[in-house]
């Protein structure tokens, strides 16, 4: 073997050793960088669990505080055991208005958008129609006078605009439970959304009227009549 061949083999062996050394160093550096990342992730996960459990505990305590504060409201106590029940009248139809008499828990009036006015004298156990002979059966508002409970106002025509609505023919004033009634104006109002009488004078009434739904007219808006 010549001198040239020996140098060639030695150079090749040296290159292999250098390559192995470089690969070893690169692998060591990569492993050293990977372990801290894994440790940090594990640490973050362990730290996140107590934080999440603490947040859940705080949320539960706040919900409990809210429930206690809501249950402690004084206005909720008288109505806590009350539940809604259907009282009819089953033939009355849709309704936009109802009225009662202060101090009388048995007398109520119900206004239907297509069934007139109904009256109950037994706490809504039974109902009787009391507005069947007028020019309209659409009732938009009912009001019982504060100074005279026998005086009742009925504003006709529903003000809740729909695809099919029934118009009214003005306002009515009645005595003794709507059996003795007369028309008191607002003939072209068509839809009365609210009617009320002043506390001290039953002849003065305030009316909120929608008017004609699809054309102009004069009897619309907020009106005062005597």
Taking only the tens place, the pLDDT of each residue in 126-152 is 999 888 888 889 999 999 988 888 888
Residue in the block written with tokens 């929608």: 210
Q: What is each CA distance from 84 to 80, 81, 87, in whole angstroms?
A: 12, 10, 9
Tokens describing residue 220 = 């619309």
3-class secondary-structure state, position 112: strand
Q: What is the DSSP letter of 19?
A: H
pLDDT at 2 over 70: no
Residue 120 near residue 104 (C-beta atoms within 8 A) = no
Please report which confidence band the pLDDT of residue 76 belongs to, taking 50, 70 and 90 as the band edges: low
Burial tier of 206 (Cβ tally within 10 Å: 0-12, 13-18, 19+): middle
Which H helix or E strand runs over 67? helix 3-71
Distance CA 19, CA 169 (A): 105
**114 CA to centre of own chain:** 26
Q: Is the dihedral of CA 26, 28, 29, 35 positive or negative?
A: positive
Residue pLDDT, tens place only, 50-65: 544 555 656 556 555 5
Q: Which residue has the higher pLDDT, 90 or 188?
A: 188
Which H helix or E strand runs over 56? helix 3-71
Residue in the block written with tokens 């007028």: 134
Q: What are phi and psi of 64, to 5 degrees?
A: -65, -40
Residue in the block written with tokens 């025509």: 157
Distance CA 140, CA 113 (A): 7
pLDDT at 95 over 80: yes
Q: Which of 182, 152, 179 is nearest to 170 (CA)?
A: 182
Q: 196 - beta bridge partners?
A: 206
Q: pTM of the full predicted structure?
A: 0.60
Tokens describing residue 215 = 């054309």
């Amino acid at each position: 073997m010549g001198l040239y061949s020996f140098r060639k083999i030695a150079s090749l062996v040296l290159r292999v050793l250098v390559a192995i050394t470089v690969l070893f160093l690169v692998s060591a550096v990569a492993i050293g960088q990977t372990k801290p990342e894994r440790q940090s992730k594990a640490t973050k996960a362990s730290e996140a669990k107590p934080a999440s459990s603490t947040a859940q505990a705080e949320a539960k305590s706040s919900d409990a505080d809210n429930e206690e504060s809501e249950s402690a409201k004084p206005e909720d106590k008288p109505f806590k055991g009350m539940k809604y029940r259907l009282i009819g009248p089953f033939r009355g139809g849709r309704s936009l208005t109802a009225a009662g008499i202060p101090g009388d828990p048995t007398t109520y009036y119900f206004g239907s958008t297509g069934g007139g006015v109904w009256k109950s004298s037994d706490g809504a156990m039974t109902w009787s129609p009391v507005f069947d002979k007028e020019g309209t059966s659409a009732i938009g508002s009912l009001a019982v006078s504060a100074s005279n409970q026998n005086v009742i106002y009925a504003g006709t025509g529903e003000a809740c605009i729909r695809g099919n609505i029934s118009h009214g023919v003005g306002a009515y004033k009645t005595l003794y439970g709507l059996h003795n009634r007369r028309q008191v104006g607002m003939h072209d109002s068509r839809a009365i959304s609210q009617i009320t009488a002043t506390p001290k004078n039953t002849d003065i009434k305030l009316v909120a009227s929608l008017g004609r739904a699809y054309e102009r007219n004069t009897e619309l808006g907020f009106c005062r009549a005597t």
